[in-house]
Amino acid sequence: KAGVTQTPRYLIKTRGQQVTLSCSPISGHRSVSWYQQTPGQGLQFLFEYFSETQRNKGNFPGRFSGRQFSNSRSEMNVSTLELGDSALYLCASSLGVGRTTYEQYFGPGTRLTVT
């Protein structure tokens, strides 16, 4: 089975611009979660989508948004970029169904640099 894929792998943007990152989960996985990783704050949860609905949300400003499509692929968008948004953005997928908490499998990440 193919793993979680993320595109693009690297991105350089200017302050004030917006950016869209894409994530394709493992086939059959319906839950997609997004995380931001920075040296200072570590790994922080952004949001989770399941069946095209946001099921959980982290403590990030409204500039960070996401969506999920019917094929479980997900995108996240960051508007009005700030220097502090420079980070590795990780996407993870899991089965997500029922009451069991399944393990999440991570993609390679998108390295975003804001200048």
Partner 1 sequence: AQKVTQAQTEISVVEKEDVTLDCVYETRDTTYYLFWYKQPPSGELVFLIRRNSFDEQNEISGRYSWNFQKSTSSFNFTITASQVVDSAVYFCALSEADNQGGKLIFGQGTELSVKP
CA 105 from centre of chain:
12
Instruction: Report DSSP state, residue 71.
Output: T
Contact assessment for residue 2 and residue 26, using Cβ atoms and an 8 Å cutoff: yes
Member of 11, 65, 67, 106 binding partner 1 (CB under 8 A) = 106
Member of 21, 26, 81, 90 binding partner 1 (CB under 8 A) = 90
Is 88 a binder of partner 1 (CB under 8 A)?
yes
Please, what is the minimum distance in Å from the beta carbon of residue 16 to partner 1?
27
Which tokens in the block code for residue 62?
């409204």
- Cα–Cα distance between 28 and 25 in angstroms, integer? 8
Closest CA to 17 of 107, 82, 111: 82
The total number of residues shown for the chain amounts to 115
Residue 4 or residue 78: which is nearer to partner 1 going by CB? 4
Is 104 a binder of partner 1 (CB under 8 A)?
yes
Residue 29 or residue 85: which is nearer to partner 1 going by CB? 29
Residues that bind partner 1 (CB under 8 A): 31, 33, 35, 42-45, 48, 50, 55-56, 58, 88, 90, 92, 94, 96, 99-109
